[in-house]
Amino acid sequence: MTDALLQVSDLTITVPAGEYGADRRPVVSGVNLQIGAGEALGLVGESGSGKSMTARAVMRLFAPGVQATGTVVFDGCEVFAMEDEQLRLLRAHRIAMIFQDPRAHINPVRTVGAFLIEGLCASGVSTRDAERRVTSLLAEVGISDGSRRMAQLPHELSGGLLQRVMIASAVAMDPDLLLADEPTTALDVTTQSEVMAILAQLRTERGLALLFITHDLELAAATCDSTAVMYAGSIVERQSSRQLLTHPYHPYSSGLMVSRPDLDVVRQRLPVIEGQPIAAFEAGEGCAFAPRCGYSQPACLATTPALVAVQGGEVACHRASELQGQLPTAMEGGGDV
Amino acid sequence: MSWPRFLVKRVLALLVVLLVASLLVYGSLYLAPGGPLSFLVGTRSATPELIAQVTAQYHLNDPFLVRYFTWLADVLHGDLGRSLVYREAVSSLIASRFLTTLLLVVYATVLILLVGLGTGIWAALRRGVAGRVVTGWNAASLSTPAFVLGALLIVVFALGLGWFPVYGSGSGFGDRLWHLTLPAIALALSSAAYLSRISSASITSEMGKEHVETAMSRGLPRKLVVRRHVLRNASIPVITVVGLTIAGLVAGTVVVENVFALDGLGSLLVRAILQRDYAVVQAIVLLLTIVFVLVNLIVDVLYSLVDPRLSLDGDAL
């Protein structure tokens, strides 16, 4: 697909390691993904799987020392090749990001209003107009007393309200793509669903494309058109969300679904994926997931499986065709009671 | 709490501090070994006339608290007593030297702010070689005591190159500034290095904060991010250091004024202590306390301006 809004190809990200940062360790390796205009893609993985780094790569938002190779093409422009000013305008107008912890990600010594209008004012909108626009945006994200809230400081607002403020600030510039880095992880469950509903509504109203990062596979699948699962810095499976929930191709996707407790089944112990998740640089030869996989065979440890097209998606598993249709999902009950 | 209430509260607190300080300053006279009389007479020959004069002047036959309140009442009326050595009112002794010290402290403060903040911000924002040069310079500056630096400056810039006078305070504003340049550098250098380190560390840590990442992700111009989010937030610990440093400078003048033979409060204080001229010592120490407390008040006000999370209630500060 060449007409995708966002096309990430062979993205590899390394961070400095060892004494004086002489060595470089990969945290993301060979990631490909694409998002069409108005589409939503869920990116699911455990901590350290490289999903946040992948999202930051889309707007080249790296800490000093982080290096990335591969290409990120947004609306025909190569993001890694951009001049600083071009990149700044891309961040200001086209791509917006919302973060996991709004309390840390909003300057604590400035008012909520100052935070909200900052982007608009920096691109030439008058303070008065900017205030009017964000007040109506606040109403859209369910904050009716916007003008009062804008005079307050971030610590005077609850986490849920603050995340709504963050969302309002992200859509204030009318971007085409929204990167959401675990926007609901720091919130309690009821607030979570409210925030997700707001995101879904804004997306349909404004035709926003969304890259939604989460460790909650079912939340991603419920929100997004398609879902990609990351493990150890690589995408191991991608298919439409609907199909992923019923027919996972990768044992890891299946394992994530089985580990999630059902509301109507009493379990003494929750089923888990044995072992610890690993980072990209810890993966040796062979399939990175093989040491934890209940279906691994000697061949899995020998060579790294490539992401290959299967019916309705892509999967990186040597045994995908054999296991097709046999992997358990949470919906079918999964493990023992 | 509103600003007027805050200021009234702080001024009342200042008065309490001064009252306690004055009691300590006055009372310490009686803690000196040998009792106040021998302390006040010191090494001078204790003729009956002198003893009678000192006893009468300091009301040494009255009970302690009575003497304290008499002294306090005099101080409040602007009468700081008479110097035993100079045979002159303490207030006029101090007044003529206060300007020199004030000018020296203000000059040094300006140097500290310019050099300290300048190099600190530069090192933090540019890193690399710039950062290492500043770090090395700061380490050298911090480990050079003011009296060594003062002597060095005199040897090189006054005696060697002849750019600056060797000693003295000068007359007229420009001439005074010229005379005070080397002393101000000697007084400022290590504090500037300290401030440079603190501001550099504070900025570096603020640059890595999540809210700065947000600002960058929103495509704000880098200058705006640095000014509005990095420097403002980083200034909170820096204000503390600047306040303490300036307050400490007043005490630091004692050394520098002696090295450069400046006739200021610091050198007067040293001489007064050596000559046991207690009325002078009391007055200067009281003055230093007032300056210290005032600087702290200014720091607190600045705090609540920079960080609105700190309410004007004293508890949060």
Please tell me the predicted confidence (pLDDT) of residue A11. Answer: 92
Q: Which of A20, A109, A121, A166 to mutate to test the interface with B (most CBs of B within 10 A)?
A: A109
Q: Are residues A35 and A97 both part of a single domain? A: yes
Q: What is the pLDDT along chain A (337 residues), one digit of tens a residue?
A: 457 899 999 999 998 887 666 788 889 988 999 999 989 999 998 888 888 999 999 999 988 888 999 999 999 899 999 999 999 999 999 999 999 889 999 999 999 999 999 989 988 889 999 999 999 989 888 888 888 999 999 989 988 899 999 999 999 888 999 999 988 887 888 888 888 888 888 888 888 999 999 988 888 888 899 999 999 889 999 999 888 888 888 989 888 888 877 777 777 777 778 788 888 888 778 888 888 888 888 888 888 888 888 888 888 888 888 887 778 876 444 444 3
Q: Which of B132, B205, B214 to mutate to test the interface with A (most CBs of A within 10 A)?
A: B214
CB contact, 8 Å: B88 with chain A?
no
Please work out, in degrees rounded to the nearest 5, the angle formed at the alpha carbon of residue A206 by the alpha carbons of A205 and A209.
115
With respect to residue A1, please indicate whether it lies within any of the assigned structural domains: no
Q: Are residues B40 and B112 both part of a single domain? A: no
Please tell me the predicted confidence (pLDDT) of residue B34. Answer: 63
With respect to residue A214, please indicate whether it lies within any of the assigned structural domains: yes
Q: Which two tokens stand for residue A309?
A: 């097209």
For residue B208, the chain A residues in CB contact (below 8 A) are 63
For residue B232, the chain A residues in CB contact (below 8 A) are 109
Please tell me the predicted confidence (pLDDT) of residue B107. Answer: 92
Please tell me the predicted confidence (pLDDT) of residue A71. Answer: 92
Please tell me the predicted confidence (pLDDT) of residue A337. Answer: 38
Q: Write the CB contacts of B110 (distance below 8 Å, at least 6 apart in sequence).
A: none
Please tell me the predicted confidence (pLDDT) of residue B109. Answer: 92
Query: Which residue in the set B218, B306, B307 is minimally distant from A91, CB to CB?
Result: B218
Q: Are residues A309 and A244 both part of a single domain? A: yes
| Boundary-marking domain end, from A171, A206, A222 | A222
Q: Are residues B10 and B136 both part of a single domain? A: no
Residue A241's nearest CA partner among A251, A255, A232, A253 is A253
Please tell me the predicted confidence (pLDDT) of residue A106. Answer: 92
Closest Cα of chain B to A184: distance in Å? 17
Please tell me the predicted confidence (pLDDT) of residue B317. Answer: 36
* B296: CATH: 1.10.3720.10
Q: Are residues B42 and B115 both part of a single domain? A: no
Q: What is the DSSP string of A162-231?
A: HHHHHHHHHHTT--SEEEEESTTTTS-HHHHHHHHHHHHHHHHHHT-EEEEEES-HHHHHHH-SEEEEEE
Please tell me the predicted confidence (pLDDT) of residue A336. Answer: 44
Q: Are residues B145 and B279 both part of a single domain? A: yes
Alpha-carbon dihedral angle through residues A305, A309, A314, A318, given to the nearest 10 degrees: -30
DSSP 8-state symbol, B307: -
| Number of domains composing chain A | 2
Q: Show the domain range for A304.
A: 230-332
Query: Which residue in the set A92, A118, A155 is minimally distant from B309, CB to CB?
Result: A155
> Considering only alpha carbons, which residue of chain B is nearest residue A107?
B211
CB contact, 8 Å: B306 with chain A?
yes
Rounded to whole angstroms, how far apart are CA atoms A90 and A80?
12
| Boundary-marking domain end, from A193, A222, A251 | A222
pLDDT, tens digit (0-9, with 9 covering 90-100), for B143-195 = 888 778 877 887 788 777 877 777 666 677 777 777 788 888 888 888 899 99
A234-240 and A313-315 as β-strands: parallel, antiparallel, unpaired?
A: antiparallel
Q: Are residues A206 and A276 both part of a single domain? A: no
CB contact under 8 A, A122 and B215: no
Interface contacts (A, B; CB < 8 Å) = 72
CB atoms within 10 A of CB A155: 12
DSSP 8-state symbol, B89: B
Query: Which residue in the set B210, B219, B306 is minimally distant from A101, CB to CB?
Result: B210
CB contact under 8 A, A122 and B309: no
Please tell me the predicted confidence (pLDDT) of residue A1. Answer: 47
Residue B263's nearest CA partner among B90, B93, B83 is B93
Q: Are residues B189 and B42 both part of a single domain? A: no
Q: Are residues B58 and B99 both part of a single domain? A: no
| Boundary-marking domain end, from B25, B43, B76 | B76
Q: Are residues B43 and B123 both part of a single domain? A: no
| Boundary-marking domain end, from A222, A247, A263 | A222
Q: Are residues B271 and B178 both part of a single domain? A: yes
With respect to residue B153, please indicate whether it lies within any of the assigned structural domains: yes
Closest Cα of chain A to B291: distance in Å? 29
Closest Cα of chain A to B220: distance in Å? 7
Q: Show the domain range for B177.
A: 92-316
Query: Which residue in the set A88, A106, A111 is minimally distant from B211, CB to CB?
Result: A106
3-state secondary structure of A74: strand
Tell me which residues of chain B have a pLDDT lower than 70: 1, 32-36, 39-40, 42-44, 167-170, 311-317
> Considering only alpha carbons, which residue of chain B is nearest residue A103?
B211
* A200: CATH: 3.40.50.300
With respect to residue B84, please indicate whether it lies within any of the assigned structural domains: no
Q: Are residues A193 and A272 both part of a single domain? A: no
3-state secondary structure of A72: strand
Q: Are residues B275 and B138 both part of a single domain? A: yes
For residue B229, the chain A residues in CB contact (below 8 A) are 107
Contact A93, A173 (CB under 8 A): yes
With respect to residue B81, please indicate whether it lies within any of the assigned structural domains: no
| Number of domains composing chain B | 2
Q: Is A122 left (phi over 0), alpha (psi -120 to 50) or beta?
A: alpha
Q: Are residues B161 and B221 both part of a single domain? A: yes
CB contact under 8 A, A96 and B217: yes
